[in-house]
Chain A
Amino acid sequence: MIDTIYIEEAVREHPRTQAVVARFPKARQIICEHYGAIFNRSQQSFRLQKQNPALILAHKSGNRVLPAPADYGIGGQDNYYFSHLLNCLYDCRYCFLQGMFRSANYIMFVNYEDFYKDIAATQSALDAPGWYFSGYDCDSLAMEPVTNFVADTLDWFATQPNANLELRTKSTQIRSLLNREALPNVVVACSLSPDPIARALEHNAPTVEKRVAALAKVANAGWQVGLRFDPLIWSDDYTSVYSDFFEQVFSQIPNAKIHSVSTGSFRLPPDFHQKMSKLYPRDTLLSGSLHRGERWVGYPQDREQALLEFARERVVAAIGSERFFPCQHETMVG
Chain B
Amino acid sequence: MSVFVIALDAEARPLIDALKLKRLIDRPWPYYSNGDDHLLLTGIGQLNAAAACGWLIGHSPELARTPWLNVGIAGHAELAVGTLCWVERIKYKHGDLYPALHIRSSLPGSLLNTVDAPSNKYVDGQLTDMEGAAFYLICSRFVPIELLHLLKVVSDNRADDIKNINKAMVTELIKDNCTEILRFALNLSQLSLALPEAIPADLDQCVETYTQKWRFSHSQKQQLMKLLQRYHALTHSMFFEPELSVPARDAKQVLALLDKKIEHLPVTMP
* Residues in A lying within 8 Å of B, measured CB to CB: 3-4, 6, 28, 30, 32-33, 37-38, 41-45, 47-54, 196-197, 199-201, 233-237, 241, 278-284, 287-289, 300
B residues less than 8 Å from A45 (CB atoms): 144-146, 195-196
A30–B195 CB distance below 8 A: no
A280–B270 CB distance below 8 A: no
A284–B141 CB distance below 8 A: no
A278 to B270 CA separation, bound complex (whole angstroms): 20
User: How many B residues have CB within 8 A of the partner chain?
Assistant: 40
Residue of B nearest to A234 (CB): B267
Q: Is B262 an interface residue (CB 8 A)?
A: yes
A residues less than 8 Å from B144 (CB atoms): 43-45, 48
A residues less than 8 Å from B234 (CB atoms): 284, 287-288
B88–A282 CB distance below 8 A: no
Interface string of B114-150 (1 = CB under 8 A from A): 0000000000000000000000000011011111000
A residues less than 8 Å from B97 (CB atoms): 37
User: Shortest beta-carbon distance, A1 to chain B, in Å?
Assistant: 12
Known: A3-B104, A28-B88, A32-B98. Is A289-B194 also a contact (CB below 8 A)? no
Contact partner of A30 (CB less than 8 A), chosen from B89, B103, B145, B197, is B89
A52–B88 CB distance below 8 A: no
Q: Is B43 an interface residue (CB 8 A)?
A: no
User: Shortest beta-carbon distance, A84 to chain B, in Å?
Assistant: 23
Identify which of residues 134-168 in chain B touch chain A, using a CB-to-CB cut-off of 8 Å. Answer: 140-141, 143-147
7 more CB-based (< 8 A) A-B contacts, given A37-B97, A284-B267: A30-B109, A32-B89, A37-B96, A47-B196, A51-B191, A236-B268, A288-B230
A287–B233 CB distance below 8 A: yes
Contact partner of A196 (CB less than 8 A), chosen from B233, B267, B269, is B269
B229–A52 CB distance below 8 A: no
B96–A54 CB distance below 8 A: no
Q: Is B102 an interface residue (CB 8 A)?
A: yes
Contact partner of A279 (CB less than 8 A), chosen from B145, B191, B196, is B196
A235 to B270 CA separation, bound complex (whole angstroms): 10
Known: A28-B88, A37-B95, A283-B233. Is A44-B100 also a contact (CB below 8 A)? yes
Identify which of residues 80-99 in chain B touch chain A, using a CB-to-CB cut-off of 8 Å. Answer: 88-89, 95-98
A residues less than 8 Å from B141 (CB atoms): 43
Known: A37-B96, A52-B104, A280-B196. Is A287-B267 also a contact (CB below 8 A)? no
Residue of A nearest to B88 (CB): A30
A282 to B203 CA separation, bound complex (whole angstroms): 13
A28 to B140 CA separation, bound complex (whole angstroms): 23
User: Shortest beta-carbon distance, B95 to chain A, in Å?
Assistant: 6
B270–A43 CB distance below 8 A: no
B195–A48 CB distance below 8 A: yes
Q: Is B62 an interface residue (CB 8 A)?
A: no
A residues less than 8 Å from B233 (CB atoms): 281-284, 287
User: Shortest beta-carbon distance, B202 to chain A, in Å?
Assistant: 14
Q: Is B232 an interface residue (CB 8 A)?
A: yes
A235–B268 CB distance below 8 A: yes
A52 to B101 CA separation, bound complex (whole angstroms): 9
B195–A43 CB distance below 8 A: no
Q: Is B242 an interface residue (CB 8 A)?
A: no
Q: Is B192 an interface residue (CB 8 A)?
A: yes
Q: List 13 A-B contacts (CB under 8 A).
A: A4-B102, A28-B109, A37-B95, A44-B145, A48-B191, A49-B100, A49-B102, A49-B146, A199-B269, A236-B267, A237-B268, A281-B197, A288-B234
Q: Is B263 an interface residue (CB 8 A)?
A: yes
Q: Is B265 an interface residue (CB 8 A)?
A: yes
Q: Is B266 an interface residue (CB 8 A)?
A: yes
Instruction: Rank and list the top 3 A-B pairs by shortest CB-CB distance, nearest first.
Output: A287-B233, A45-B144, A48-B146
A197–B147 CB distance below 8 A: no
A200–B270 CB distance below 8 A: yes
A residues less than 8 Å from B147 (CB atoms): 48
